[in-house]
């Protein structure tokens, strides 16, 4: 018995070990800085009341994982760039997409996506263009990052981008079948629940939440898992290649999306796209309602905009329990 106790004590620093269905899962002993542990479990992914690509609602089981409490900030990304010398795609090509509200009224027709402008020298350090900067915006989410830029940052920390399933599971915060990360009541109409567009998009933003663009991370209430801005503020890159009908035949356990060769956006069928999740400060109820937890969107991996960022997950065996 004494030898067993000595062995157990010697292994204590690596955490408790469990054997479940022949898999060895290691309980983490320390929380990685700035991350939240999401227990393994099942949930209903998607929505039968949402858009067609959110259907059918289906059960998914996931292993446990760590996920960033906040979206990656300008300060976080600055440290990455300072240590690695990394150059983002928008810095390399010297332009990026910036939202500009059309000078029209709701009675006048607006061409879809006409509110985007390719702005010279817009990048993560200059979100609105050359005359803008991230000074005093260190705690805002980094934007103007492509999928590869986001992935490079996560790799630097030996982390990953979340899958769509991981993102939605975390965003739901344990609330099964709800519309929003806080439940199904539209509290955002009366309370500052998330950073989104108030008013008629894309013509008029009432800014009743206090922010016309990005907000400092953590400015709004967390969900029940303690995650901030998991909906609203900025869209977030996830690792899945997008397909509108993936839910009809996706695996029941740890789905990771279709192969690149099978990715499909019906609006641009020749261009493979990744998924983005969570909605942004541009999402309104009259347009995309992207801050719903089941909402998903295709995005070209090499595109960068002033409303897209990311957060990381840790999937290492040593982090599972």
Question: Parallel, antiparallel, or unpaired for β 23-26 and 17-20?
Answer: antiparallel
Report, as an integer, the average pLDDT of 72-92: 98
CB distance 31 to 38 below 8 Å: no
Q: Is the pLDDT of residue 103 over 80?
A: no
Pick the range with the lowest mean pLDDT from 4-13, 167-176, 293-302: 4-13
Q: Is the pLDDT of residue 3 over 70?
A: no
Q: Is the pLDDT of residue 13 over 50?
A: no
Joined together, the tokens standing for residue 298 give 């295709």
Q: Is the pLDDT of residue 277 over 90?
A: yes
Cα separation, 222 vs 238, in Å, equals 20
Q: What percent of the chain has pLDDT over 70?
A: 86
At residue 316, the pLDDT reads 67
pLDDT, one tens digit per residue, over 56-80 is 999 999 999 999 999 999 999 999 9
Report, as an integer, the average pLDDT of 260-276: 98
At residue 275, the pLDDT reads 98
Report, as an integer, the average pLDDT of 238-265: 98
Pick the range with the lowest mean pLDDT from 34-38, 100-104, 217-221: 100-104
At residue 198, the pLDDT reads 93
Considering the chain, what is the average pLDDT of its residues? 89
pLDDT, one tens digit per residue, over 161-176 is 999 999 999 999 999 9
Pick the range with the lowest mean pLDDT from 70-74, 85-89, 99-103, 275-279: 99-103
Report, as an integer, the average pLDDT of 32-42: 96
Domains of the chain in sequence order: 2-71+154-319 (3.90.1580.10)
At residue 19, the pLDDT reads 36
Please indicate whether residue 291 or residue 6 has the higher confidence score (pLDDT).
291
DSSP 224-274: TTS-SSSSSSSEEEEEEEP-TTGGGT--SBS---B-GGG---TTSTTS--E
Q: Is the pLDDT of residue 12 over 70?
A: no
Report, as an integer, the average pLDDT of 6-23: 35
Q: How confident is the model at residue 113 (pLDDT cuts 50, 70, 90)?
A: confident
Please indicate whether residue 217 or residue 199 has the higher confidence score (pLDDT).
217
pTM of the model: 0.89
Report, as an integer, the average pLDDT of 116-145: 97
Q: Is the pLDDT of residue 178 over 80?
A: yes
218 phi-psi bin (left φ>0, alpha ψ -120 to 50, beta other)? left
Report the range out of 83-87, 97-101, 205-209 with the highest average pLDDT.
83-87
Joined together, the tokens standing for residue 192 give 């500052």
Q: Where are the beta strands (DSSP E) in the chain?
A: 17-20, 23-26, 35-38, 41-45, 58-62, 65-68, 95-99, 116-120, 235-241, 274-277, 296-299, 308-309, 313-314
Q: How confident is the model at residue 88 (pLDDT cuts 50, 70, 90)?
A: very high
């Amino acid at each position: 018995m004494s030898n067993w106790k000595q062995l157990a004590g010697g292994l204590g620093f690596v955490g408790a070990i469990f054997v479940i269905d022949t898999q060895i899962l290691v309980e983490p002993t320390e929380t990685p800085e700035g991350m939240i542990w999401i227990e393994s479990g099942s949930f209903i992914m998607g929505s039968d009341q949402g858009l067609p690509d959110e259907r059918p609602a289906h059960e998914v089981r996931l292993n446990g994982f760590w996920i960033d409490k906040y979206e990656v900030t300008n300060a976080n990304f600055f440290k990455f760039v300072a240590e690695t010398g990394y150059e983002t795609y928008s810095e390399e090509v010297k332009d990026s997409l910036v939202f500009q509200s059309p000078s029209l009224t709701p009675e006048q027709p607006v061409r879809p996506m006409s509110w985007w402008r390719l702005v010279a020298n817009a990048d993560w350090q200059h979100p609105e263009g050359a005359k803008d900067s991230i000074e005093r915006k260190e705690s805002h989410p980094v934007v103007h990052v492509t999928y590869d830029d986001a992935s490079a940052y996560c790799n630097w920390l030996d982390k990953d981008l979340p899958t769509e399933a991981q993102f939605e599971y975390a965003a739901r915060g344990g609330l099964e079948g709800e519309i929003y990360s806080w439940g199904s009541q539209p509290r955002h109409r009366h309370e500052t629940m998330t950073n989104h567009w108030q008013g008629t998009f894309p013509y008029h933003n009432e800014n009743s939440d206090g922010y016309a663009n990005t907000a400092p991370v953590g400015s709004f209430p967390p969900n029940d898992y303690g995650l901030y801005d998991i909906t609203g503020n900025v869209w977030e890159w996830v690792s899945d290649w997008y397909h509108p009908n993936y839910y009809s035949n996706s695996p029941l356990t740890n789905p990771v999306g279709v192969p690149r060769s099978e990715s499909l956006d019906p609006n641009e069928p020749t261009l493979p796209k990744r998924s983005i999740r969570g909605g942004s400060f541009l999402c309104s109820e009259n347009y995309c309602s992207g801050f719903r937890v089941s909402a998903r969107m295709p995005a070209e991996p090499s595109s960068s905009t002033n409303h897209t960022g990311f957060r990381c997950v840790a999937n290492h065996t040593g982090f599972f329990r």
